[in-house]
């Protein structure tokens, strides 16, 4: 009830502001920039629906003003390419009002004068934002201020095929204890590698494990396990440790050496990576919770039967690198950013409406993303269809976010070059670490702190 009152009040405020101008019919065109993305059509769709709600409020208040959404859909291949397209459009004065983006681009958007701070808006509308899971706000902060509203959240994990573990002679107790062993720091990255190699060598799987075949966030959780803390919050700079990097690369090299990881992993297509796990060739894959839907389909499991799924697949965090260490996880929220345009207040209200439990749950359960509001977990849709998402929430306890730094894309691209070099046998771990640190130093200059 309080929420509805707040919505009505918000609409009244907006409407009364509009009434101050001569009462002629007026369309406010809000430009929405969103990547055409099959994995989340409601990211843009919820804003369009929010505009409809908003127009209902305006009509009820007797206003002639109408919000019209102009959707700019880019065909970019990923969120990085999309953000670069957006920055180019912005630099020639073609700035949209609302942007659907990967959170780590916020740093760039702020530096380029694109993103508007939402702190005042969030504080002025506590009833619209009060239920958002607090940890998620970390993902939209840059230099202490919030520049976005988390649109979804997710959790990443190593998926393991239980049938293959069984075929390799592993007991049910062993399989069931894996997640806790990882969380307790007893099962390490090296153990994971050995397990994948053991299962492969036993003939239970063709491939040990697979990772993404291109630059992307997943590697951060593995790097974090080896003690690489990518970001210095206080100085707002990226950072690297040579020893951590070498250990991380050595782990990859060992995995290839033992046969747990294909040496040509970085030449795979995404289709081959997906097919390896879903087609039951690989014991394990490390990626994210949104894979759940496709896995259920591939394994022929009823989407409502969580028990059957977890009988088939085990989820673990990225194990610690040493016994007793802490496991790591990564959440990579997609966020709504409001641009610093004359429409920013209207745009922010639309984002507020789109971030409410009902629209967000529609997006979350249809695309396998974890919720942004606490109350969503109690909703019927979550209770029936969202069992997997609920199961993912405990993993979030170990989640970190990518740094919201303008040059994180470059940082990831360079560290990924090291992954390629080590896995294909072109360089040793030490050589790769040395080379990567030099490249980072050269390309990032003052934006990088080298810890050792």
Partner 1 sequence: MMQTQTRRQVVNAFIFLGPASAFLLVLLVAPIIVDLVVAFTDMSQTVRIDEYTTDQFRKIIRPNEEALLGFELRGSFYRALAKTAIFVFFTLAIFNVTFGLLLALTTTALPDWLGGTFRAIWLLPRMSPSVVYALLWIWVIDPTERGLVNQVLTNVFGSEPVNLFLQHPMAVIVVANGFIGASIGMLILTSAIRSIPQHLFFAARADGAGPLSIARHIIMPALRWPLSYITVFQSLALMVSFEYIFLIMGPARSTMTMAMLAYTKTLAPQIGSGQYAYGAAITLILIVIGVVVALLLYRLTNMKRLLAKPRIEVH
HEC string of 166-207 equals: HHCCCCHHHHHHHHHHHHCCCCEHHHHHHHHHHHHHCCCCCE
For residues 153 and 369, the answer to whether their CB atoms sit within 8 Å is: yes
Question: Does 95 sit near partner 1 (CB under 8 A)?
Answer: no
Positive or negative, the Cα torsion across 31, 36, 39, 41? positive
Residue whose CB is less far from partner 1, 257 or 443: 443
Question: What are the CB-based long-range contacts (under 8 Å, 24+) for 267-271?
Answer: 267/213, 268/210, 268/213, 269/213, 270/212, 270/213, 270/214
Question: Does 421 sit near partner 1 (CB under 8 A)?
Answer: yes
- CA–CA separation, 433 and 428 (whole Å): 9
**Which among 37, 72, 74 is positioned nearest to 151, based on CA atoms?**
37
Positive or negative, the Cα torsion across 133, 136, 142, 147? negative
Query: How many chain residues interact with partner 1 (CB under 8 A)?
Result: 41
- CA–CA separation, 424 and 79 (whole Å): 27
- CA–CA separation, 215 and 409 (whole Å): 9
Going residue by residue from 163 to 202, which x/- string records binding to partner 1, judged by CB under 8 A? ----------------------------------------
Question: Does 27 sit near partner 1 (CB under 8 A)?
Answer: no
Residue whose CB is less far from partner 1, 107 or 244: 107
Interface positions, 259-288, toward partner 1 (CB under 8 A):
263-264, 266-267, 269, 272
Task: List phi, psi (to 5°) of 332.
Answer: -125, 75
Q: Which range of residues in 227-235, 240-248, 351-359, 410-418 is near partner 1 by CB under 8 A? A: 410-418
Q: Please, what is the end-to-end C-alpha distance for the chain in angstroms?
A: 55
Min dist. Cβ of residue 115 to partner 1 (A): 13
Interface positions, 119-138, toward partner 1 (CB under 8 A):
none
By CB under 8 A, name the one of 214, 326, 341, 428 that touches partner 1.
214
Going residue by residue from 433 to 452, which x/- string records binding to partner 1, judged by CB under 8 A? --x--xx--xx-x-------
Going residue by residue from 45 to 84, which x/- string records binding to partner 1, judged by CB under 8 A? -------------------------------xxx-xx--x
Question: Does 207 sit near partner 1 (CB under 8 A)?
Answer: no
State the residues that interact with partner 1 by CB under 8 A: 76-78, 80-81, 84, 87-88, 90-92, 108, 112, 214-216, 263-264, 266-267, 269, 272, 406, 409-414, 416-417, 420-421, 424, 426, 435, 438-439, 442-443, 445
């Amino acid at each position: 009830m309080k929420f509805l009152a707040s919505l009505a009040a918000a609409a009244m405020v907006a409407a009364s502001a509009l009434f101050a101008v001569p009462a002629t019919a007026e369309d406010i065109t809000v430009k929405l920039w969103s990547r055409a993305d099959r994995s989340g059509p409601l990211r843009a769709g919820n804003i369009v629906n929010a505009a409809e709600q908003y127009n209902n409020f305006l009509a009820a208040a007797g206003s002639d003003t109408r919000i019209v959404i102009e959707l700019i859909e880019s065909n970019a291949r990923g969120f990085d390419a999309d953000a670069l397209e957006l920055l180019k459009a912005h630099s020639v004065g073609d700035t949209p009002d609302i942007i659907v983006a990967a959170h780590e681009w916020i740093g760039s958007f702020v530096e380029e004068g694109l993103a508007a701070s939402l702190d005042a808006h969030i504080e002025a509308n506590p009833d619209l934002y009060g239920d958002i899971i607090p940890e998620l706000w970390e993902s939209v902060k840059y230099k202490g201020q919030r520049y976005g509203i988390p649109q979804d959240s997710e959790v990443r994990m190593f998926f393991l095929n239980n049938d293959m573990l069984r075929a390799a002679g592993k007991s049910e107790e062993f399989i069931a204890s894996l997640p806790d062993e990882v969380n307790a720091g007893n099962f390490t990255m090296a153990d994971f590698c050995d397990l994948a190699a053991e299962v492969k060598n036993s003939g239970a799987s063709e491939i040990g494990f697979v990772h993404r075949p291109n630059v992307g966030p997943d590697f951060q959780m593995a790097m974090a396990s080896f003690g690489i803390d990518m970001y210095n919050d206080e100085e707002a700079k990226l950072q690297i440790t040579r020893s951590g990097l070498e250990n991380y690369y050595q782990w990859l090299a060992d995995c290839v050496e033992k046969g747990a990881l294909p040496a040509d992993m970085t030449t795979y297509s995404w289709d081959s990576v997906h097919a390896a796990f879903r087609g039951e060739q690989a014991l394990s894959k490390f990626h994210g919770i949104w894979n759940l839907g496709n896995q259920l389909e591939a394994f022929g499991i009823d989407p409502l039967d969580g028990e059957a799924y977890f009988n088939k697949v085990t989820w673990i965090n990225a194990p610690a690198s040493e016994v007793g260490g802490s496991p790591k996880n990564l959440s990579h929220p997609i966020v709504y950013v409001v641009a610093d345009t004359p429409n920013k207040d209207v745009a922010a209200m639309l984002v507020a409406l789109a971030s409410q439990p009902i629209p967000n749950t529609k997006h979350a359960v249809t695309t396998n993303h974890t919720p942004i509001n606490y109350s969503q977990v109690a909703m019927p849709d979550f209770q029936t269809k969202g069992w997997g998402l609920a199961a993912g929430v405990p993993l979030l306890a170990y989640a970190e976010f990518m740094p919201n730094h303008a040059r994180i894309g470059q940082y990831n691209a360079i560290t990924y070059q090291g992954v390629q070099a080590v896995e294909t046998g072109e360089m040793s771990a030490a050589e790769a670490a040395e080379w990567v640190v030099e490249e980072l130093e050269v390309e990032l200059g003052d934006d990088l702190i080298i810890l050792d």
